[in-house]
Structure 1
Amino acid sequence: MHKKYHIRPALEADAAILCAAERRIAETPGRLVSHPDELKETAYAEKIRALADIGCYLVAEKDGVIVGHAVLEPVASRLSLAHVYTLGSMVVHSGADGQRAGSALMRALLQWVQQQSHIERIELRVREQNTAARRLYEKFGFVLEGRFDKRIKLADGSYLTDLMMAWFAPLPPASSTTPQRPA
């Protein structure tokens, strides 16, 4: 039986929990791009505030405990890119792996996107070796668009490849008032 999650908007009061979770995950080289000491609680509170009106910052709770979070934000303030958003973070907190928190978050993000008629494309980057995340994104319709070899350099001098994936909003149904071509 799969577990139910309460998905809600992130609050500034969640910043310490979100930062601590990402610091723990970042301790494993390559899981996140950031190193643990680069992650600052104040940056999380600022991001939550900044996205309140222009993006979507969600947390997943199980039994009142935050077990994951996800951030969807505009790529740029340029008019020609207003239809493009990026999945800046999708983090399942340590101990909640494999319990479908990521699926619950992605479902909620895409529901939010459906209410935003201007969003037509979501981009993300994922480590090539993160097969669980790649499967999740593919399950929700993301497609591979490219690869960035040697994009992330680890402390031991080795490199990781990032993959670029994208999701496209479904086309609206054809209008019944569309003129028909003569037979």
Structure 2
Amino acid sequence: MLATLKIEPFTARLKDGTEVTIREATLQDASELMQSIRKYLSESEYQVMEQDEFSHLMSKGREWINAFIEEDNSLLLIAEVDGKIVGNLDITGGSRKRLRHNGLIGIGVLKQCHSQGLGSMLLQAGIDWAKDNPYLERLWMQIVDGNKEAIGLYKKLGFVEEGRQKNFIKTGEGTYADNIIMALVL
């Protein structure tokens, strides 16, 4: 195992002028991060997990964060405004030898920060980190079809659609959405 590649905390301004700090998550962030993720789930129709399904994971926040801290090909970033978590990005590197070069991206941003550039900041920080990571060669993600704002952001940062799973996500009784797979070769 290599020494863990770190990201130095940095501050930036959102489009509305709000100052945001982006840094790696620590074990002390567990409770607040879990609450923020729970809120993302309640605010977005484009999540594949529903809020009530997340409840049993709330107690495992420290374990979840620790998994990112321990893996050299994984990263968990948080974004804070006035000391409160408003977004996060995770890159989960493959654990099997033949998949170790892949990093699956997850991202969440509170509705109050949508369309303010926070998603771009988090994603760009993750991409920059991944480019310096000796294990990762590609990043990928899954997006619910219809999430045009997210798809536009990912395309802007170089991700391309690699595939589509038809009717993969059940959005209601008898209604479905495609699962879009996008990737970026580093």
Which residue of 29, 36, 41 maps to 1:26? 41
1:37 aligned partner, one-letter code: D
* In 2: Cα distance, 1:144 partner to 1:134 partner: 9
| Structure 1 residue matching 2:167: 3-state secondary structure | strand
Which residue of 65, 68, 81 maps to 2:84? 65
* In 2: Cα distance, 1:80 partner to 1:35 partner: 31
Contact 1:6 1:60 in 2 (8 A): yes
Q: Report the CA distance between 1:5 and its aligned residue.
A: 2.3
Q: For residue 97 of structure 1, what is the aligned residue in structure 2?
A: 114
* In 2: Cα distance, 1:96 partner to 1:6 partner: 13
2:92 aligned partner, one-letter code: E
Q: For residue 100 of structure 2, what is the aligned residue in structure 1?
A: 82
Q: Report the CA distance between 1:114 and its aligned residue.
A: 2.2
* In 2: Cα distance, 1:168 partner to 1:142 partner: 8
Q: For residue 153 of structure 1, what is the aligned residue in structure 2?
A: 170
Structure number with higher helix proportion = 2
Which residue of 42, 54, 57 maps to 2:59? 42
Q: For residue 178 of structure 1, what is the aligned residue in structure 2?
A: none
Q: 1:80 to 1:162 in 2, by over 3 A?
A: same
Q: In the comparison of the two structures, how many residue pairs are matched?
A: 167
Residue 27 (structure 2) pairs with residue 12 (structure 1): yes
* In 1: Cα distance, 2:109 partner to 2:117 partner: 9
Q: TM-score, normalised by structure 1?
A: 0.83
* In 2: Cα distance, 1:57 partner to 1:71 partner: 4
* In 2: Cα distance, 1:19 partner to 1:31 partner: 18
Q: For residue 7 of structure 2, what is the aligned residue in structure 1?
A: none
2:130 aligned partner, one-letter code: V
The gaps in structure 1 that reach 5 residues or longer are: 170-183
Contact 1:82 1:118 in 2 (8 A): yes
Q: TM-score, normalised by structure 2?
A: 0.82
Q: 1:111 to 1:29 in 2, by over 3 A?
A: closer
Which residue of 87, 99, 114 maps to 2:131? 114
Q: Report the CA distance between 1:120 and its aligned residue.
A: 0.5
Q: 1:8 to 1:43 in 2, by over 3 A?
A: same
The gaps in structure 2 that reach 5 residues or longer are: 1-13
1:79 aligned partner, one-letter code: K
Contact 2:143 2:181 in 1 (8 A): yes
Q: Report the CA distance between 1:6 and its aligned residue.
A: 1.1
| Structure 1 residue matching 2:40: 3-state secondary structure | helix
Contact 1:48 1:57 in 2 (8 A): yes
* In 2: Cα distance, 1:135 partner to 1:160 partner: 18
Residue 166 (structure 2) pairs with residue 166 (structure 1): no
Q: Report the CA distance between 1:109 and its aligned residue.
A: 0.6
